[in-house]
């Protein structure tokens, strides 16, 4: 068959080289070799190379996650290039649908896609058919690679190894096993402990960054980096694959119970909640001294002048022996003034050693309590006399009390400074008057744990960073309504 000759244009066609290095080792060809082949092909055909776009180390099955392939299609559609040159047809995509969509977009824009090593004249029906065969073969290879990897992952999972070989921060992968990194183990344990105490991922990220501990890929920790690390069951000596979890071939650095507690708390926090639409600034934060939550409520009262005035209040649902409602402005004004005027001074973050000490004390307390349980059981079984039991019991109780006092002291040393909470909201506090109620509520909940209205009328604000509550007086004056 005689090949159809194309007319020679006045200006050389503009070509953009698209290069992609596969993640599959047996299908990976260097970017340099692909570019050399592409430039040689363009030189032979009189093309002017105007751009080189590269997606390195990205699977051919993905499309939206490859920015370079999106750019080359855009260049054809915006008339910045006339032809896309590939090393092989499989470089553009291994997905049948993505290939069809890309080819259609290029054809509609009047461009062409050509391969430097698999030359096919797509201007003819037979050429387009040959290209279809090549792209179908590329899709077949992709599916075959996927099946092989699935077998490998299933095999590794059955041996108690991480299916994909990937391990979280705190671990290193060897050829035949994985093992924990000793200097990172206490840090990972502390991360779980902090989360279990109700500290969020943002708090943990701040603590890690303040310690100068680099993130898995360097740089600063972010909340998503923290949860990505803690989500891995590998820390508890487990491996998971396709929704199934089993005991791994490695020893965990936390217990399965600790990991299960983390997952419960994580799932609870991740449960989608309806957006808050409360118009009450301190909604969910105000507590009565009797222990019940005070809910926002609108009250109407008649003034001495005879005028009826409506205003917001925080109402105790069980108010029978104390003030039932407190005007919202009497509580909101002093709380907001305290928040906006609060001055923080930089304070050093708690050292890792302090966290390790707190963990060690907690383990000592647990050991002492277990000893107490064994001792009580031996007394019940008449293994030891009562006098011996009482002497040992008293000694253990004294030790437990000492350890609990040390634990409280260690907890104070591991507290983060107020700046850990307030710095994140500095911009919002500066523009407080311009914020919507929902945005103000978000700031308050990030800084304030609870607001208690005492029986003497004073207000106690318990900040998120702990310590003694801040005592404020209610705002005075007459509500204008």
Structure confidence at residue 237 (pLDDT) = 93
CA 277/CA 25 separation, integer angstroms: 53
Structure confidence at residue 270 (pLDDT) = 57
For residues 111 and 76, the answer to whether their CB atoms sit within 8 Å is yes
Encode 200-228: b = buried (16+ Cβ within 10 Å), e = exposed: bbbbbbbbbbbbeeebeeeeebeeebbbe
CA 215/CA 228 separation, integer angstroms: 11
For residues 96 and 131, the answer to whether their CB atoms sit within 8 Å is no
Structure confidence at residue 50 (pLDDT) = 93
Comparing CA positions, the residue from 327, 332, 334, 296 lying closest to residue 311 is 327
Comparing CA positions, the residue from 451, 237, 443 lying closest to residue 335 is 451
Full 3-state SS string of the chain: CCCCCCCCCCCCCEEEEEEEECCCHHHCCCHHHHHHHHHHHHHHHCCEEEEEEEEECCCCCCCCCCHHHHHHHHHHHCCCCCEEEECCHHHCCCCHHHHHHHHHHHHHCCCEEEECCCCCCCCCHHHHHHHHHHHHHHHHHHHHHHHHHHHHHHHHHHCCCCCCCCCCCCEEECCCCEEECCCCHHHHHHHHHHHHCCCCHHHHHHHHHHCCCCCCCCCCCCHHHHHHHHCCHHHHCEEEECCEEEECCCCCCCCHHHHHHHHHHHHHHHCCCCCCCCCCCCCCCEEECCCCECEEEEEEEECCCCCEEEEEEEECCCCCCCCCEEEHHHHHHHHHHHHHHCCCCCCCCCCHHHHHHHHHHHHHHHHHHHHHHHHHHHHHCCCCCHHHHHHHHHHHHHHHHHHHHHHHHHHHHCCCCCHHHHHHHHHHHHCHHHCCHHHHHHHHHHHEEEEEECCCCCEEEEECCCCCCEEECCCCCCCCC
Structure confidence at residue 49 (pLDDT) = 93
Structure confidence at residue 26 (pLDDT) = 41
Comparing CA positions, the residue from 230, 251, 236 lying closest to residue 187 is 230
Distance linking the first and last C-alpha atoms of the chain: 92
pLDDT, tens digit only, all 481 positions of the chain: 444 445 555 688 999 999 887 654 444 567 878 888 889 899 998 999 999 998 876 654 565 667 888 899 899 999 999 999 988 877 777 666 777 778 888 888 888 888 888 777 666 666 666 666 666 665 555 555 555 556 767 778 888 888 877 899 999 988 788 999 999 999 999 999 988 887 788 888 888 988 889 998 888 898 889 999 999 999 999 998 888 888 999 999 999 989 998 998 887 765 444 445 678 888 888 888 887 888 888 877 776 777 777 778 888 887 566 667 888 889 999 999 988 886 554 444 555 555 556 667 777 887 887 788 788 778 777 888 888 888 888 888 888 888 888 877 766 555 566 666 666 667 777 788 888 888 888 888 878 888 998 888 899 998 877 777 889 999 886 554 4
């Amino acid at each position: 068959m005689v090949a159809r000759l194309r007319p020679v244009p006045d200006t050389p066609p503009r070509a953009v080289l698209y290069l992609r290095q596969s993640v599959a080792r047996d299908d990976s060809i260097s970017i340099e070799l692909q570019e050399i082949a592409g430039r040689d092909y363009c030189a032979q055909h009189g093309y002017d190379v105007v751009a080189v776009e590269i997606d390195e180390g990205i699977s051919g099955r993905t499309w939206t996650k490859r920015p370079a392939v999106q750019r080359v299609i855009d260049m054809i559609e915006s008339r910045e290039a006339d032809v896309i040159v590939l090393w092989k047809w499989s470089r553009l995509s291994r997905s049948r649908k993505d290939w069809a969509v890309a080819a259609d977009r290029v054809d509609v824009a009047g461009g062409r896609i050509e391969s430097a090593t698999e030359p096919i004249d797509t201007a003819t029906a037979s050429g387009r058919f040959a290209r279809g065969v090549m792209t179908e073969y590329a899709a077949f290879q992709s599916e075959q690679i996927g099946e092989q990897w699935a077998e490998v992952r299933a095999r590794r999972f059955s041996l108690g190894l991480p299916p994909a070989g990937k391990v979280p921060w705190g671990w290193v992968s060897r050829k035949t096993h994985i093992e924990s990194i000793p200097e990172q183990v206490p840090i990972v344990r502390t991360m779980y402990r902090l989360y279990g105490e109700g500290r969020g991922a943002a708090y943990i990220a701040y603590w890690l960054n303040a310690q100068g501990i680099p993130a898995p890929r360097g740089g600063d920790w972010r909340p998503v980096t923290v949860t990505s690390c803690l989500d891995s069951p590998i820390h508890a000596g487990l491996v998971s694959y396709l929704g199934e979890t089993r005991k791994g071939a490695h020893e965990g650095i936390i217990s399965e119970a600790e990991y299960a507690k983390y997952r419960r708390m994580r799932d609870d926090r991740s449960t989608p909640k309806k957006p808050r639409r409360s118009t009450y600034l301190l909604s969910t934060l105000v507590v009565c001294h009797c222990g019940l939550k005070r809910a926002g409520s609108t009250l109407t009262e008649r003034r001495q002048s005879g005028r009826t005035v409506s205003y917001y209040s925080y109402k105790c649902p069980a108010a029978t022996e104390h003030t039932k409602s407190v005007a919202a402005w009497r509580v909101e004004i002093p709380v907001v003034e305290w928040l906006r005027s609060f001055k923080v001074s930089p304070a050093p973050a708690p050292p890792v050693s302090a966290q390790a000490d707190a963990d060690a004390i907690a383990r000592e307390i647990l050991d002492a309590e277990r000893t107490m349980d064994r001792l009580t059981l031996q007394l019940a079984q008449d293994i030891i006399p009562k006098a011996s039991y009482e002497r040992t019991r008293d000694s253990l109780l004294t030790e437990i009390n000492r350890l609990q006092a040390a634990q409280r002291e260690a907890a104070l040393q591991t507290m983060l400074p107020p700046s850990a909470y307030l710095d994140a909201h500095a911009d919002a506090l500066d523009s407080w008057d311009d914020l919507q109620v929902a945005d103000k509520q978000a700031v308050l909940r990030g800084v304030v744990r609870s607001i208690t209205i005492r029986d003497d009328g004073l207000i106690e604000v318990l900040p998120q960073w702990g310590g003694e509550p801040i005592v404020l007086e209610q705002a005075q004056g007459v509500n204008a309504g």
